[in-house]
Amino acid sequence: MTFRTVISLANKVLPVRVLRRNFGKACVYSIPQPAELSDQFDVVNKKSFVDQIGGSKTEVKMVLKLYKMDFSPPVRAVFMVIEALEIPDVEMIDINLFQAEHYKEEYIKINPQHTIPVLIDDDVVICESHAISTYLVDKYGKDDSLYPKDLKKRAMVDQRLFFDSGILFPCARGAGEPLIFRGAKGFSPEIISKITAGYVFAERFLSRSPWLAGDQLTLADICCVSTISSMDIVVPIEEATYPNLYKWFKRCSEFDFYKKKNVPGLEIMRGYVKAKLADGAKEQ
């Protein structure tokens, strides 16, 4: 087998050299990040796809690839799942939304929706954070505690994941995207109202159990806390108003996976929001 060993990507077979040419620049972007971020994952160089070149034998090592931008709430959710599952080898590829790299032809071939995150595992391409998270637990989980195999328990986790997709994330995106990417000067009353409504729903869920989907931490909590921590930048969660949500948020924030994998990207997002609001105030 020669250097032109091929790998399957997005249902299309491409030579390794072509992949390097098309995606080499995607590994660097200009968004400032804490220096420690570079040490937070075992980032695997593209060369690890081929452990040996030449000789009589070439051993191919396939690793997970994650396309991401660190301050994105769905990306941070996947970061936390990877950390919680202790998955060692993940190749991180940055997609700079500010430079519209997600609209490049090469990326759209991978993900026609041009969203992040995207996970590639050998010939499998998964383009949604909840689908990625459930896949990772099913494949790499030491047990099913984060995503139970019991049908009724799993249905409850799924319901909360859909709550995140359908209610919570549109709130976070509706607040952050216009401000960070589209030049808005602040947050609209409508989005503030939607965020508070999301808090009310979560408060009611948490009045029944300490965690969103029952008596133990699940993917529902990991995915939702990434989004809710972003919403908290816009509308802080007050203990007096949302006592159950406040306590849940505090419990989630004490996990190592939250501190290591959510906080750094969250602080990047907080910095963008603060800077954009300050710019808007100057122009008024």
Contact between 31 and 96 under an 8 Å Cβ cutoff? The reply is: yes
Q: What is the mean pLDDT of residues 172-180?
A: 97
| Inter-helix orientation angle 169-181/73-85, to 10° | 120
| Residue 263 pLDDT greater than 80, yes or no | yes
SS3 track for 175-197: HHHHHHHCCCCCCCHHHHHHHHH
Q: What is the mean pLDDT of residues 150-177?
A: 98
CA 256, 146, 77, 231 torsion-angle sign: negative
Per the annotation, the verdict on 72 as an active-site residue is yes
Q: What is the mean pLDDT of residues 198-226?
A: 99
SS3 track for 60-73: ECCCEEEEECCCCH
Instruction: Name the pairing type of β-strands 12-15 and 6-9.
Output: antiparallel
Confidence of residue 61 (pLDDT cuts 50, 70, 90): low
CB within 8 Å of 272: residues ≥ 6 apart? 71, 176, 179, 180
Helices (H) and strands (E) in the chain, counts: 11, 6
Q: Domain residues of the chain, as ranges? A: 6-140, 151-283
Of the candidates 38, 72, 129, 145, the residue annotated as catalytic is 72
Over the stretch 68-112, which tens digit does the pLDDT of each residue have?
999 999 999 999 999 999 999 899 999 999 999 999 999 999 999
CB within 8 Å of 167: residues ≥ 6 apart? 197, 198, 201
Q: What percent of the chain has pLDDT over 70?
A: 78
Confidence of residue 284 (pLDDT cuts 50, 70, 90): low
Over the stretch 101-147, which tens digit does the pLDDT of each residue have?
999 999 999 999 999 999 999 999 999 999 999 999 999 999 999 99
User: Domain 151-283 belongs to what topology?
Assistant: Glutathione S-transferase Yfyf (Class Pi); Chain A, domain 2 (1.20.1050)
| CATH code of the domain made up of 6-140 | 3.40.30.10
| Residue 26 pLDDT greater than 50, yes or no | no
For the chain, the average pLDDT equals 84
Question: Six-digit token pair at 145?
Answer: 């505690």
Q: What percent of the chain has pLDDT over 90?
A: 75
**Would 6-140 and 151-283 be classified into the same CATH topology?**
no
Widest Cα–Cα separation across the chain: 70
Q: What is the mean pLDDT of residues 8-29?
A: 34
| Nearest of 78, 57, 58 to residue 16 by alpha carbon | 58
- Res 7: pLDDT: 34
| Residue 232 pLDDT greater than 70, yes or no | yes
